[in-house]
Structure 1
Amino acid sequence: MKAELKDNLDRVEENINNTLLKMGRKREDVTLLAVTKTVDSEKINAMLELGVKNIGENKAQELTEKFPEISGDAIWHFIGHLQTNKVKYIIDKVKLIHSLDRLSLAKEINKKAEAENIVKEVLLEVNIAEEESKFGLKKEETIPFIEQILDFKNIKIKGLMTIAPFAENPEEVRYVFRDLKKLGEEIERKNYPNLEMKYYSMGMTNDYTIALEEGSNIVRIGTGLFGKRIYK
């Protein structure tokens, strides 16, 4: 198992490095986030032993079940749609929530973070392609939403996240990543307090090299690292 995981990781790292070299960017500026949805704890720990530090879960229940079984130096991210009633289960476990997309969720994260006496770092999920099957703010909703939650003392906005539509030819979704980066630059120019466009979480197994070319610095890779999985 570990040899297969290492081969997968080496292939992904080679693609990342080749793309960054072409763009004149440094490897240390990009976070490889291993997407561990439906992946068992043994495989996750094997991937951590190979040097991957950041792991991302889509479901609060799965995260809380695996949490005690995973190596202590793992850095957890929550990357799926987060229900308000599940915030309490993950608030003290994850470094970064990638999927803030509505006011009710912002209020709950702020409330639970205040109770834990922490400031929770979040990314705003933006549905650039406006797919009906996906969650996220519309592009034009993002800045008004930011202005609604700027006063929340226990949330810190650290950037943006998007999910591109699946395309056989990833060039077809390049515009999604380009538009998210432009939106981030527009937000940055407004110089809002307590906000930083530090992270652009974009790019998955099928399209991460294109996302990197357009400025991504967190790529979320599941199948590319762990192989095809049967989702529950």
Structure 2
Amino acid sequence: MAIADNLQALERRIAAAARRAGREPSAVRLVAVSKTQPAAVVAEAARAGQRLFGENYVQEFTAKAGAVGEPVEWHFIGHLQSNKVKYLAGLVTMIHSVDRLSLAEEIDRQWGRLGTACDILIQVNVAGEATKSGTSAAALLELVRAVAALPHLRVRGLMTMPPFFDDPEGARPYFRELQRLAEVVAAAAIPGVTMAELSMGMSGDFEAAIEEGATLVRIGTAVFGARG
């Protein structure tokens, strides 16, 4: 199938999942995960109407961003080392994977040089998996308070990656828990912090994520096909 067809099919599935949860389809945005995809493929997706793309690797992204001429918006969704933040400054509009104060401080420093602010999501390791990045649920509020004090960052919500399950229902409790944690953070009424975004759900489980409150679903394979 062509990318345009894949995008239309996804749009229908996203809308249906939102309606099942009593939500407006417009409340959910598709982040097309374009890691390992060449600039020409991103451009094809952009011409088919996709505007928001998520990248995982700094070096690959910076090379690609300069080669895509279409008007697109980039989010960084992968694990991020502090010494690589400078390469993202001014190129991405949101970073989904902030999981520690030292990283937040470097983002603040680099965006401060531009005189602007970066929207970020706090990554939470809901399942407590040793192989996954993310702050713990127990440490979340303390981290949000510390990050919120940085002048060039805006905390806009949370992100998680649940364990992999063949059945998407297996991931549902983790999505539900992220929604609950967002409510805890919102109730704390920390100045400058909003819980407007929940980044969760991928090609295999995004419908369950939407039903549990996702506003950003990170989908690669169902857009671009399986990676070779």
Q: How would you bin the TM-score normalised by the shorter chain?
A: over 0.9
How do residues 1-232 of structure 1 correspond to structure 2 at under 5 angstroms? 4-230=2-228
**In 1, Cα distance between equivalents of 2:5 and 2:163:** 27
1:158-205 CA-to-partner distances (Å, cap 9, x unmatched) read: 000001111100101101100000000011011110111010000000
Worse-matched range after superposition: 20-29 or 129-138 = 20-29
Deviation at 1:25, TM superposition (A): 1.4
**In 2, Cα distance between equivalents of 1:55 and 1:162:** 18
Deviation at 1:91, TM superposition (A): 1.5
User: For residue 42 of structure 1, what is the amino acid of its counterpart?
Assistant: A
| Gap regions ≥5 residues in structure 2 | none
**In 2, Cα distance between equivalents of 1:160 and 1:149:** 13
Query: Between the two proteins, what is the percent identity of the paired residues?
Result: 38
Deviation at 1:148, TM superposition (A): 2.0
**In 1, Cα distance between equivalents of 2:69 and 2:196:** 27
Deviation at 1:72, TM superposition (A): 3.9
What TM-score, normalized to structure 2? 0.97
**In 1, Cα distance between equivalents of 2:163 and 2:111:** 32
Q: Is the 8 A contact 1:203 1:216 kept in 2?
A: yes
Worse-matched range after superposition: 9-18 or 133-142 = 9-18
1:45-66 CA-to-partner distances (Å, cap 9, x unmatched) read: 1101111100000011111000
Q: Is the 8 A contact 2:18 2:28 kept in 1?
A: no
Worse-matched range after superposition: 161-170 or 15-24 = 15-24
Dislocated runs of 4+, deviation >4 Å: none
Q: Is the 8 A contact 2:30 2:52 kept in 1?
A: yes
**In 2, Cα distance between equivalents of 1:172 and 1:58:** 25
* Secondary structure at 2:196 match in 1: strand
Q: Is the 8 A contact 2:46 2:70 kept in 1?
A: no
**In 1, Cα distance between equivalents of 2:157 and 2:215:** 10
Deviation at 1:150, TM superposition (A): 2.4
Q: Is the 8 A contact 1:166 1:206 kept in 2?
A: no
Q: CA RMSD in A?
A: 1.0
Deviation at 1:8, TM superposition (A): 1.5
**In 2, Cα distance between equivalents of 1:149 and 1:209:** 31
Deviation at 1:78, TM superposition (A): 0.2
**In 1, Cα distance between equivalents of 2:91 and 2:153:** 15
| Gap regions ≥5 residues in structure 1 | none
* Secondary structure at 1:69 match in 2: coil
